[in-house]
Structure 1
Amino acid sequence: MEIKFGTSGWRDVIADGFTFHQVRICTQAIADHLNSQNHKGGIVLGSDTRFLSRQFMQASAEILAGNGIKTFLCVRDTPTPVISFEILRRKAAGGINFTASHNPPEYQGLKFSPAWGGPALPETTSDIERRANDLAKGGKYLRIDFEEAKNRGLVEEIDPRENYLSNLKTKINFNKIRETSLKILVNPMYGTSRGYLDSILREVGCRVSVMNDHLDPYFGGFRPEPSESEISDMMARMKEENFDIGLATDGDADRFGILDVGGKFFEPNQILGMLLDHLKGTRGWGGGVARSVATTHLVDAVARFHNLEVFETPVGFKYIGELISQD
């Protein structure tokens, strides 16, 4: 079955298109791509909470080790933004993240991020895709047993949580948050933000309650997507227990949903408009604004108010990443 990279990597149904053999082929293609570019620095390897994520990570690490590439393997499921941060912090050659994000439980995915930490640009994914499908026709992958790779120092297990949260504290005014003493309901949706979002909010003095915060590859029978249709139980609890705000994240914690007092759901597009106004009006950030064709034109209205240029891209953050890389 052909390996095809979409806007956020390669995704397929577990045991159908997404198999250990295909994972090994795809990882070999990534290794070949990195070696052809003479990249150094190793690979950060992480995953979300889906079925077989740990085993897929180990299979990928074996192939990277076979190609002489060191891996920094996250010891637990890890949010996508944390993996990106760790790539930059370690000056790694990139990262491989086993995640299908907000897709249903039967899906798994592989996302490659290059050294800059964001999603791989189209020319990179096209090269990896071509190499992988050529290998699938009869090529071979190089492999070292996982325990042997650890013994050789080609696999190092890491926990990036503390470094990430410490860095976050340098970028957010937690004193302002502490002064509010907000009563917050956090919903990781059985995903990777467990022990991240709830932990740091408690640390700064918020009254935090958490729901759906244990490991469940079935995601409670729902899609792990923080949309209004998938968090009705959270909306009901917001009303019943009088929370000030509700914060939900998807399976790999790179999407969010926000609820106001009484359980009113705010569309992410609405939040983006408010965020842009804050970053320019309060924080004084400059530069242009990039949004995909699917993103609200509220962003354009806020940008016009602040005299900021707007750049429109196709759907997929990798296209915005391409703009950033050209800046």
Structure 2
Amino acid sequence: MEHISFGTDGWRATLETFTEPRVRMVGQAVADHLRAEGREGTVAVGYDARDTSRGFADALAEVLSDNGFDVLVSERDCPTPVLAWTVRDRGLAGGLVVTASHNPPEYNGVKFLPSAGAPALPDVTDDLEARLAEPTALPEDERGTVREDTFTTAYCQHALAFADNPDVSGIRIAYDAMHGSGRGVTNDLLEAAGATVESLRTERDPEFGGTPPEPTAERLQSLVERVTEGGADLGFANDGDADRLAVVTPERGYLDPNMLYAVLYDYLLESGEGPAVRTVSTTFVVDRLAAAHGEEAVEVPVGFKWVAEAMGEHGALVGGEESGGFGITEHLRNKDGVLLALVLAAAHAARPIDERADAIEAEYGEIHQGRTSLDCPNERKAAVLGSLDGDLPAAVAGVAVADVGAKDGFKIFLEDGTWVLVRPSGTEPKLRVYAEATSSERVEELLAAGRDLVEPRI
């Protein structure tokens, strides 16, 4: 039990720790949690493209059915957002996805999705951890059924209708699945909308071609070259479980996820209204864009569970984070890299994304961000951050401090509109230092100042 911990987005571990007996304990905890919540009926189980994922999914299904729940298991590996939307759309008791998302192939993981399809909040995951136990089984005549289901068909029909059946027939899109669960889903959805799609890395490969399925600039060089050299009008890439999206444009190449958020919000505001929710590490340009439209930007700690919660509480139009996860509230209070590809293709058809990004920069300022990490044992994190409380400098890198936020670590707002953030990693023994400024050079100065502030305290 001590090896099972639900962090920022479920429980993930290497396969030495992520074993079938422990996965079955998670299944029992979910069954007991759902019973305690008075939820009965059906649970959906999905899984990603890793070699071990279907076996773990079947183990979860068996434990849940032994506890009286009917279980729908995806017929193939499927994107996490497809499973999440299915749970909400069909009014299911909950869902489980076996995935380690963008982690290397030697990892696996599991996410629990409550009935709303949004990420589980700490009160839920704490309850799951408290209920971890060896599996039990009801008498045979009281057990549930297990059957396979195709979740993607209804989801894709919904996605096309939600995006108002956009005409993207003139757009050439290069799509990189990174051998993950978006293959045959995101690209098929774009083709169904009329786009011409060149599909890359869409073969199932449990080793992900030897690189973690994380759509960062350095891992998408082939996609960047195709688009910037004229082989496509746009490039899209999903991470391993397709809840994140990266975008490549002809002029900018890999589009900074902060600018991607601003582009998305700008497009959605053309036909909708509502606040934008962002994490503490996401750009202030979103705030300026919101204010210009009479809306607000709501800041929350890092972790999409907090974004999703605030999306509901504030009636937000959209929520997002600087790591490339975005959700549209009316569709699903969860990040969704499949639907977002279709929505951004429609945005490009209405106005080229490069042109839209240029206009945003001209009106609200350029986006320059950076991040660095400092090794810090988990047991030292609280003490280091505690030592900053009441001992922050009056100026950072030569600019006076205007305010300090403490939603997640310490965010130091400077008088020139720039900021530095120090927060603990939720997954590694590290402290993160982030900065945003008007130039890359200034970002480096702020990151250096942040390191100098924190490092002596570790």
Give the TM-score taking structure 2 as reference length.
0.65
Q: Which has the higher contact order (CA 8 A, sep 6+)?
A: 1
- Per-residue CA deviations over 1:76-104 (Å, capped at 9, x if unaligned) read 01111101111012100110000111111
1:2 partner amino acid: H
State the partner residue of 1:141: 135
Give the TM-score taking structure 1 as reference length.
0.90
1:70 partner amino acid: D
Per the TM alignment, residue 41 of structure 1 is displaced from its structure 2 partner at its CA by 2.9
1:317 aligns with 2:308: no
Tell me, yes or no, if the aligned pair for 1:62 and 1:143 is still in contact at 8 Å: no
Per the TM alignment, residue 237 of structure 1 is displaced from its structure 2 partner at its CA by 3.0
CA distance in 1, matches of 2:203, 2:248: 21
SS of aligned partner of 2:168: helix
Equivalent of 2:152, from 137, 145, 161? 161
CA distance in 2, matches of 1:177, 1:224: 27
State the partner residue of 1:268: 257
1:291 partner amino acid: R
Per the TM alignment, residue 167 of structure 1 is displaced from its structure 2 partner at its CA by 0.6
Tell me, yes or no, if the aligned pair for 2:230 and 2:250 is still in contact at 8 Å: no
Aligned length: 313
- Per-residue CA deviations over 1:228-271 (Å, capped at 9, x if unaligned) read 01111222233455211111110100111111126711011111
1:285 partner amino acid: E
State the partner residue of 2:268: 279
SS of aligned partner of 1:304: helix
Per the TM alignment, residue 143 of structure 1 is displaced from its structure 2 partner at its CA by 4.6
Equivalent of 1:291, from 278, 291, 296? 278
1:3 aligns with 2:4: yes
CA distance in 2, matches of 1:194, 1:262: 26
Does the C-alpha gap of structure 1 residues 63 and 292 become closer, same or farther in structure 2, counting only changes over 3 Å? same
CA distance in 2, matches of 1:30, 1:204: 38
CA distance in 1, matches of 2:213, 2:259: 21
Identity %: 38
- Per-residue CA deviations over 1:117-143 (Å, capped at 9, x if unaligned) read 0110110011101222xx3xxxx3125
1:237 aligns with 2:226: yes
1:45 aligns with 2:34: no
2:261 partner amino acid: L
Does the C-alpha gap of structure 1 residues 240 and 308 become closer, same or farther in structure 2, counting only changes over 3 Å? closer
Per the TM alignment, residue 293 of structure 1 is displaced from its structure 2 partner at its CA by 1.1
- Per-residue CA deviations over 1:8-59 (Å, capped at 9, x if unaligned) read 1000001x11000110011111111111111123111001111211100000
CA distance in 2, matches of 1:199, 1:156: 25
Does the C-alpha gap of structure 1 residues 237 and 325 become closer, same or farther in structure 2, counting only changes over 3 Å? closer
| Structure 1 unaligned regions, length at least 5 | none
2:162 partner amino acid: K
State the partner residue of 2:89: 89
Tell me, yes or no, if the aligned pair for 1:236 and 1:263 is still in contact at 8 Å: no
Per the TM alignment, residue 284 of structure 1 is displaced from its structure 2 partner at its CA by 2.2
Tell me, yes or no, if the aligned pair for 1:243 and 1:262 is still in contact at 8 Å: no
1:259 aligns with 2:259: no
CA distance in 2, matches of 1:326, 1:131: 28
State the partner residue of 1:211: 200
CA distance in 2, matches of 1:326, 1:71: 31
Tell me, yes or no, if the aligned pair for 2:102 and 2:241 is still in contact at 8 Å: yes
CA distance in 1, matches of 2:282, 2:32: 35
CA distance in 2, matches of 1:79, 1:263: 28
CA RMSD of aligned residues (A): 2.1
CA distance in 2, matches of 1:5, 1:261: 40
CA distance in 1, matches of 2:163, 2:312: 25
State the partner residue of 2:14: 13
Tell me, yes or no, if the aligned pair for 2:85 and 2:155 is still in contact at 8 Å: yes
- Per-residue CA deviations over 1:143-200 (Å, capped at 9, x if unaligned) read 58xxx99xx761121001110111111111444322xx11110101101111112112
Tell me, yes or no, if the aligned pair for 2:13 and 2:108 is still in contact at 8 Å: yes
Structure (1 or 2) with the larger CA radius of gyration: 2
CA distance in 2, matches of 1:37, 1:206: 44
CA distance in 2, matches of 1:207, 1:315: 36
2:86 partner amino acid: E
CA distance in 1, matches of 2:3, 2:249: 44
Q: Which structure dedicates a bigger proportion of its chain to helix? A: 1
Per the TM alignment, residue 204 of structure 1 is displaced from its structure 2 partner at its CA by 2.8
CA distance in 2, matches of 1:321, 1:237: 34
Equivalent of 1:189, from 153, 178, 184? 178
SS of aligned partner of 2:57: helix
State the partner residue of 1:249: 238
SS of aligned partner of 1:22: helix
State the partner residue of 2:30: 30
SS of aligned partner of 1:60: helix
Tell me, yes or no, if the aligned pair for 1:242 and 1:262 is still in contact at 8 Å: no
2:221 partner amino acid: S
| Structure 2 unaligned regions, length at least 5 | 315-458
